[in-house]
Amino acid sequence: MKYIDEFRKREPFNALLSKIKSLPLQTISLMEVCGTHTVSISKSGIRSLLPPNIRLISGPGCPVCVTSLEDVDRVIMLAAEGKTHSTYIIATFGDMMRVPGSHSSLLKEKAKGADIRVVYSPVDALTLARENSDKEVIFFAVGFETTSPTFAATILQAKREGVDNFSIISNNKLIPPAMEALLNDENITIDGFICPGHVSAIIGTTPYQKIANHYHKGCVISGFEPLDIIFSIYLLMHQKSSGTAKVEIEYSRVVRQEGNPKALKTLNQVYELSDAQWRGLGIIPKSGLVLKDEFALYDAAKKFDLPKPEVSEPKGCRCDQVLKGMISPKECPLFATHCTPAEPVGACMVSSEGTCAAYYKYER
Amino acid sequence: MEERILLAHGNGGILTSQLIENCFLPYFQDPLLKQLNDQAIFELEVHRIAFTTDSFVVDPLFFPGGDIGKLAVCGTVNDLAVGGATPLYLSIGFIIEENFPIEELKKISSSISIAAKEAQVRIVTADTKVVEKGACDKLFINTSGIGLVKKEVDFSGHNAREDDKILLSGDIGDHGIAILSSRKGIEFETSIKSDCAPLNLLVNDLLPSAHYIHVMRDLTRGGLATILNEIAMQSEIGITIYEDRIPLKEEVRGMCELLGLDPLYLANEGKLVAFVHPDGAEEVLSLMKKNPLGGNARIIGEVMRKPSEKVTMETHVGGSRLIEMLVGEDLPRIC
């Protein structure tokens, strides 16, 4: 398979590994921000091949995992209300279904009779709205810069077509502000970032410049195959040993310096910045996206009186520290005992891109 | 107007007789079945008897490379075959949803008959029930089967031993991708057909080397990963497999990449694994390769003493990772 096989070959991988080992020995903590990277590292067994001085820590780049418990509870309550009123349909991505809220989950509410539909894209949710004109379709929107432009495009399409029974609960978030928040936390040591390839395909290199220039941490935008990742690790180590910090693109077959101007234009047309609550990281200024006033018709928060849940965090769950890279999943006492993919306690065990799920599946 | 199944087709009266006469007897030509007794009576030269049952609820009923009828025959034949048994007799039970098109039932009966001929088994007894609309989805089939096992054959999930070589009879994941590609709501175009096939003739070819074979299992739901984990637990041994030795069609790999699936967990309906004493591994492999159903057979790994009850894989780049049993949702109703 072209563009995949070349990046899974053992010989070039081993060559890069030797180059890494030949660099001056230094202890280094690199954060892979994106959940897809976490899965790829676990799945290809990269951690088992790295020398012990290189520590890979997983970041907050799984949109399901960083959705705050309050936001999860809100949608669960809304779904439960919908069951009695049957006036709306909740649409969501599949992974969101099993995320435990304070008292229930969307999956449990669906079993009790709430109308909740799993969709693969926002466009499918809009189709659902067209097909059910007597009901409001409310999309539980989660996602980073990669997904948000498709939400924006869907809102624009709904407006063009005059579909008025479609709205979203926006939990869309931005990655670079979260990276900055982690660097501002003095309890966390990060020497460089393996930056998310697909987020960067949209935003380009500019948003990372501050991290390189102001915080002096290397940023390498990486692809997702084993060779991409090992090469990115090499580039970051090379930066550190030569005393530089810059933004580099390893994933040059996909990512351009300027990103994707068309997607960014669509995004900015529909969304504006807001502060956002992240699970584990708290409120991060200007890290969220909300719909501009002119799209209020599609903003469930403005259209309806959304429930205000009282949150109770699950006892013993250390998702917050996992999401900040402060502990590895194996250091959580619930990991693989009380918290498993079949019976998850925290969101990190639910999502297919969750750090705990990846460790459970590939590295236990 | 298109003929449909009515509830009365299942009431044991005149319509039931007509249904049997039109939809089943023309296809199931067995002299024992034709007697239409409540049971089939036959004699066996008794060695040891293997007996198994399986139910089929696949959705959709027709998929690239097969249908529920072919699956119902192959599924039970394969469960017998991997015990080293020579399958002989099958029973078949239909649970039909009212309003099911009679034409489709005939098509399925025909493919049952063709599959039984291919597998050289006889369908000697059968049953039909019709249920109200909504009480089942279109058509469910149950088959049971018996086969004879030679004295010297002893295949069991408990028999894997340290240093055994693990043989896989061919490409994995075809059935899973074929079903997925025809599922409503996810349809996509692919040339991949289900690998649904009776494995008993392949197994029969391996029997001359049966003394080397410790374990044999067909790969079905949960895929290669799940079966290997089951064997590791049953035999209390560890298993290592090598990613670059696992045969897989390019198109299946491509679909897995696109859809985020792991081929190790995809369903199969015509593949088996055998755990073979290292001295006999090459011999069994060459016997496998001579049969068209084992043409792409490979040695994919071996049994280790430790870590016990775990399956690990050496990845393309040389890393090591755990292979878990199927976690979370598989695609439901795959067989």
Tokens 């029974």 -> residue: A165
Give the chain B residue nearest A47 (alpha carbons): B319
Q: Which residues of A touch B326 (CB under 8 A)?
A: none
Q: Exposed, middle or buried, A69 (CB in 10 Å: 0-12/13-18/19+)?
A: buried
pLDDT of residue B185: 66
pLDDT band at A46 (very low <50, low <70, confident <90, very high): very high
Which of B149, B175, B205 is the last residue before a domain boundary? B149
| Distance, first Cα to last Cα, chain A | 30
pLDDT exceeds 60 at position A193? yes
Cβ–Cβ of A362/B257 closer than 8 Å? Answer: no
Separation in Å, CA of A45 to nearest CA in chain B: 4
Give the chain A residue nearest B250 (alpha carbons): A1
Residue B23: give its domain's CATH number. Answer: 3.30.1330.10
Cβ–Cβ of B322/A363 closer than 8 Å? Answer: yes
Cβ–Cβ of B250/A4 closer than 8 Å? Answer: no
Is residue B327 in a domain?
no
Separation in Å, CA of A196 to nearest CA in chain B: 18
Count of domains for chain B = 2
For A325: left if phi > 0, alpha if psi spans -120 to 50, otherwise beta; the answer is left
Is residue B229 in a domain?
yes
Is residue A288 in a domain?
yes
Give the chain B residue nearest A16 (alpha carbons): B317
Separation in Å, CA of B323 to nearest CA in chain A: 6
Under 8 Å between Cβ of B80 and B122: no
pLDDT exceeds 70 at position A13? yes
Residue A159 vs residues A126, A152, A245, A287, B325: alpha-carbon distances, Å: 11, 11, 44, 26, 46
Is residue A88 in a domain?
yes
Is residue A8 in a domain?
no
For each of chain B's 335 residues, which pLDDT tens digit applies? 578 999 989 888 888 889 999 999 999 989 999 888 889 999 888 779 999 999 999 999 999 999 999 999 999 999 999 999 999 999 999 999 999 999 999 999 999 999 999 999 999 999 999 999 999 999 999 999 999 999 889 999 999 999 999 999 999 999 999 998 888 666 777 889 999 999 999 999 999 999 999 999 999 988 999 999 999 999 999 999 999 999 999 999 998 988 888 999 999 999 999 999 999 999 999 999 999 999 999 999 999 988 899 999 999 999 999 999 886 555 667 77
Is residue A21 in a domain?
no
Tell whether B112 and B257 lie within a shared domain.
no
- Which residues face A291 on adjacent strands? A271
The dihedral formed by the CA atoms of B153, B156, B159 and B163, expressed in degrees to the nearest 10:
90
Mutate to test the interface with B, among A10, A47, A230, A343 (most CBs of B within 10 A): A10
Task: Provide the mean pLDDT of chain A.
Answer: 93
- In the numeric block, which tokens belong to residue A179? 């990276």
Give the chain A residue nearest B242 (alpha carbons): A44
Separation in Å, CA of A202 to nearest CA in chain B: 20
Cβ–Cβ of A364/B254 closer than 8 Å? Answer: no
Q: Taking each helix axis from N to C terminus, what angle separates A226-241 and A35-44, rounded to the nearest 10 degrees?
A: 110
How does DSSP classify residue B101? Answer: B
Q: Does A112 touch chain B if contact means CB atoms closer than 8 Å?
A: no
Mean pLDDT of A22-28: 87
User: What are the residues whose beta carbons fall under 8 Å from the beta carbon of A60, sequence distance 6 or more?
Assistant: A33, A66, A178, A182, A278, A280, A281, A323, A324
**Chain A stretch 317-346, residues whose beta carbon is closer than 8 A to a beta carbon of chain B:** 341-342
Q: What is this model's ipTM?
A: 0.80
Is residue B12 in a domain?
yes
Is residue A75 in a domain?
yes
Segments forming the whole domain that contains residue B68:
7-149
| Distance, first Cα to last Cα, chain B | 31
Under 8 Å between Cβ of A170 and A137: no
Task: For residue B51, give the 3-state DSSP assignment.
Answer: strand
Is residue B186 in a domain?
yes
- Which residues face A274 on adjacent strands? A288
CA separation for the pair B122, B113 (Å, rounded): 9
Segments forming the whole domain that contains residue A317:
26-364
Mean pLDDT of A256-283: 95
pLDDT of residue B85: 96
Under 8 Å between Cβ of B50 and B148: yes
Cβ–Cβ of B317/A226 closer than 8 Å? Answer: yes
pLDDT of residue A155: 97
Tell whether B39 and B86 lie within a shared domain.
yes
Q: Which residues of B touch A14 (CB under 8 A)?
A: 317-318
Q: Which residues of B touch A48 (CB under 8 A)?
A: 319-321
pLDDT digits (tens, 9 = 90+) for B288-322: 999 999 999 999 999 998 889 999 999 999 999 99
Is residue A65 in a domain?
yes
Tell whether B133 and B261 lie within a shared domain.
no
Is residue A7 in a domain?
no
Under 8 Å between Cβ of B212 and B159: no
pLDDT exceeds 90 at position A210? yes
Mutate to test the interface with B, among A7, A119, A356, A362 (most CBs of B within 10 A): A362
Pairing status of strand A28-34 against strand B122-131: unpaired
How does DSSP classify residue B291? Answer: S
Tokens 């049969």 -> residue: B291
Is residue B155 in a domain?
no
pLDDT band at A306 (very low <50, low <70, confident <90, very high): confident
Tell whether B128 and B267 lie within a shared domain.
no
Is residue A350 in a domain?
yes
Residue B229: give its domain's CATH number. Answer: 3.90.650.10
Chain B residues with CB within 8 Å of chain A CB = 250, 253-254, 257, 260, 314-322, 324, 327-328
Q: Which residues of A touch B327 (CB under 8 A)?
A: 341-342, 357, 360-361
pLDDT of residue A157: 97
Count of domains for chain A = 1
pLDDT of residue B332: 66
Position with higher pLDDT, A324 vs B80: B80
Q: Does A48 touch chain B if contact means CB atoms closer than 8 Å?
A: yes
CA separation for the pair B267, B264 (Å, rounded): 9
Residue A222: give its domain's CATH number. Answer: 3.40.50.11740
Separation in Å, CA of B10 to nearest CA in chain A: 32
Tell whether B188 and B139 lie within a shared domain.
no
Cβ–Cβ of A360/B328 closer than 8 Å? Answer: no
Give the chain B residue nearest A43 (alpha carbons): B321
Mean pLDDT of A86-92: 91
pTM (predicted TM-score): 0.85
Cβ–Cβ of B317/A227 closer than 8 Å? Answer: yes
pLDDT of residue B1: 57
Residue A63 C-alpha from the chain's centroid: 3
